[in-house]
Amino acid sequence: MSRAVVTVVGEDRVGIVARVSSALAENGVNIEDISQTIMQDLFTMMMLVTVDESRIPIGDLQKRLAQVGGKMGVHITVQHEDLFRFMHRI
């Protein structure tokens, strides 16, 4: 199992959390932690998730969520957590 960070940035509207969460559930992705805030007037949500890469590799999950985000006009990225650990922790 791999841990990844899902980031959603865009204009706030009804149903963002619901749609992203259901897309994650459809792919067997478990949400471990979630936080959301408004930064620079934009809705910003970050999720720490666990991905079974034998079921869906992180790259494919990124493509799937990009489609979901595209329909709602929000930008979604999925990146393995190690990227952030490496960059921001000594």
Partner 1 sequence: MFINPEEILETIEMIEEQALDIRTITLGVSLRSCADPDGKRLCQKIYDRVTSAARKLVPVADGLSAKYGIPIVNKRVAVTAIAEVAEASDLSDYLPVARALDEAAAATGVDFIGGFSALVHKGITPGDERLISSIPRSLAQTKKVCSSVNVATSKAGVNMDAILRMASVVKKTAELTSENDGVGCAKLVIFANIPEDNPFMAGAYHGSGQPDIAVNVGISGPGVVRAVVERYREADLTQLSEIIKKSSFKITRVGELIGREAARLLGAEMGAIDLSLAPTPTPGDSVAGILEAMGLEKTGAPGTTAALALLNDAVKKGGAMATSSTGGLSGAFIPISEDLGMIDAVESGALSLEKLEAMTAVCSVGLDMIIIPGETRVETIAGIIADEMAIAVVNRKCAGVRLIPTPNKSEGELAHFGDLLGFGPVIKVNSFSCSNFVTRGGRIPPPLTSLNN
Q: What is the DSSP string of 29-72?
A: PEEEEEEEEEETTEEEEEEEEEE-TTTS-HHHHHHHHHHHHHHH
24 or 78, CB closer to partner 1? Answer: 78
Tally the residues of the chain.
90
User: DSSP code of 27?
Assistant: T
46 or 72, CB closer to partner 1? Answer: 46
Residues 56-85 that bind partner 1 (CB under 8 A): 57-60, 62, 77-85
* Residues at the contact surface with partner 1, assessed by CB under 8 A: 5, 7, 9, 33, 35, 37, 39, 44, 46, 48, 57-60, 62, 77-90
